[in-house]
Chain A
Amino acid sequence: MRNRRRAVLPGFRVTMGFTVFYLCLIVLGPLLTLPARAASLGWSGFWEVISDPRVVASYRLTLGASLAAACVNAVFGFLVAWVLVRYEFPGRRIIDALIDLPFALPTAVAGITLTALYAPNGWLGRPLAARGITVAFTPLGISIALVFIGLPFVVRTLQPVIEDLDTEVEEAAASLGAGRLQVLVRVILPYLYPAWLTGFALAFARAVGEYGSVVFISGNMPMRTEITPLLIVTKLEQYDYPGATAVALVLLIISFVLLFAINALQGWSARRLA
């Protein structure tokens, strides 16, 4: 009897056991090998690897470009999601399906395509170059690649929440005298905040680890356009597994701290809303 009151569906123990086992196998296991491998460096060796000026420059680039891309995606992904949910127009379903393409496309294909497009002799690169803007092989190009791969995360997390948003609430607010901006800022945005932050965090996290689509457009110049994942590959190329894992560990910790902070922020704003 007591059991039945606790959960409607049976099998809590089995499913929980499986979940823990599965997470250990798929997520925790690979992650734990990182500190284990990096440990062979010793503390001073570890510090030397991760504080190398070239490595530090790559953190700055990777995190900066990822943050910029996630911000762009947060703004325009919101617009796209809003338009797709709120308006009926011909071709809407096709555009809706297009959003998932960056998920499905092999990242190397995306990288090569973007480079061809933005190279100084490409369709978009040529007119931009005529105006003195170089995109390919600069941090700007890196951000564009990251915007491309991150867009679906924001759109797909926001869409269902916007779908749930009742237009009557907006109408009620308007009938009570709220202006358009007031409705947006006081009624709609607070409701969308948590999902929006999730989308932002996902797009950001994906961008930090991205390799395939970026190496083609980045130009890989030391100190200037070298992303952290490239340095990890570079170290592997020298059979320097401990060094590669050390840098990977730093990236992992930074990502985890940021994701944790964003999750906390999201929980806080969700509670405030309730």
Chain B
Amino acid sequence: MSRNISNVLILAALALAGCSRAPENGRPSTAAKPSVELLNVSYDPTRELYQEFNGEFARYWKAKAGQDVTIKQSHGGSGAQARSVIDGLEADVVTLALAYDIDAIAQAGLTGADWQKRLPQNSSPYTSTIVFLVRQGNPKGIKDWDDLVRPGIGIVPANPKTSGGARWTYLAAYGQALLKNKGDHAKARDYIASFYKNAPVLDSGARGATTTFVQRGIGDVLVGWENEAYLAQDEAKGQFDIVVPSSSILAEPPVAVVDKVAARKGTQPIAEAYVQYLYSPEGQEIAAKHHYRPRDAAVAAKHESNFAKVTLFTIDEVFGGWQTAQKTHFADKGTFDQIYRPGGR
């Protein structure tokens, strides 16, 4: 019996050893400058985007500065990633789902409190929004936010307590209800309560919600990131339709250089160049290709047909910024928790 256990352990150890690659040896670079390595800590759905962008940036940097650069990527839930950075993960650059998570990194003293002012447009080189993904042919006739709270409709948002993307979803739903009812918070709260009443499952992450809707066949509407909806549609041709509501939130996933880490590693200039390059036409083009809305007017015009027109409101306009939104809506005993209080509907 114990031999079996040890066999399994040995197999597992071998499997692990096979998976983890030894770190790349510092190849002597052909250029005069030694090669550098950057770590970009990001959230889940950006995997494909940064895979392509990193290659493009390495080429650009080689041509500009004559230096080889390798960029390592780390992906996970936005909040968990921010915690890893705070706890000592040596990220030169963070590209997360929401400003609140980079604020936490700034509060830990790893970067300046003014980080969001350093780059154009709230330090968000690309944006996204919240849209609906419905089953082919839209059998339940979902057109706008009001259809999501009809009895008998099953919606799949992720859990705003654990997922950054799901927080954007919540804010989109609440914000449009607030704007529609001319700033009446009681009505917006009623809307959001019936919204989550129609959710049979709250996955812990945005990707998990997509899986629940696409693979498990749960619910009628996936409410989430526009880029995830396009990705799901690309993966399963013809099984899903995207429905764009009349209004939604302008989701701004921000980027920042982690000053303390970059300064210690001596990577500050290249880290700055990396985040700035996201704003270049090349960077914007890659973002658009991966279904993120580009900020650059020329690139946006070129891809206009790929992004539906929708009235977008910002978190600053409607909620007074992330810190306030977090405190009012997502903190323990906040509006979201009150929905689930017994008798709190």
Contacts and interface: CB of A to CB of B under 8 A. Distances in A.
Given A52-B332, A54-B340, A104-B11, A220 B216 contact: no
B342 A220 contact: no
A137 B156 CA distance: 13
A219 B332 contact: no
Interface string A85-122: 00000000000110111011000000010011001111
Given A159-B1, A238-B332, A119 B217 contact: yes
A223 interface: yes
Contacts of A239: 79, 83, 104
B8 interface: yes
B330 A238 contact: yes
A221 B215 contact: no
Contact of B208 (A159, A216, A238, A243): A216
| Chain A contact surface mostly | helix
Bin the interface of chain B by size.
35 or more
A267 interface: no
Interface string B1-32: 10011011101100000000000000000000
A40 interface: no
B202 interface: yes
Given A120-B217, A234-B161, A220 B203 contact: yes
Given A104-B12, A239-B83, A239-B104, A121 B204 contact: no
B218 A220 contact: no
B80 interface: yes
A19 B77 CA distance: 38
A53 B333 CA distance: 11
Contacts of B332: 49, 52, 235, 238, 240, 243
Contacts of B218: 119-120, 137
Interface string B204-227: 100010010001111000000000
A233 B216 CA distance: 24
Interface string A39-62: 000000000010011100000000
Contacts of B215: 116, 119
B204 A230 contact: yes
B159 A220 contact: yes
B201 interface: yes
B169 to A, nearest CB: 15
B314 interface: no
B4 A100 contact: yes
Interface in A225-247: 230, 233-240, 243
A99 B8 CA distance: 10
A127 interface: no
A237 B1 contact: no
A160 interface: yes
A78 B216 CA distance: 34
A220 B162 CA distance: 10
A97 B7 contact: yes
7 contacts: A96-B4, A97-B4, A136-B216, A219-B200, A233-B162, A237-B77, A239-B83
Interface of A: 49, 52-54, 96-97, 99-101, 103-104, 112, 115-116, 119-122, 136-137, 156, 159-160, 215-216, 219-223, 230, 233-240, 243
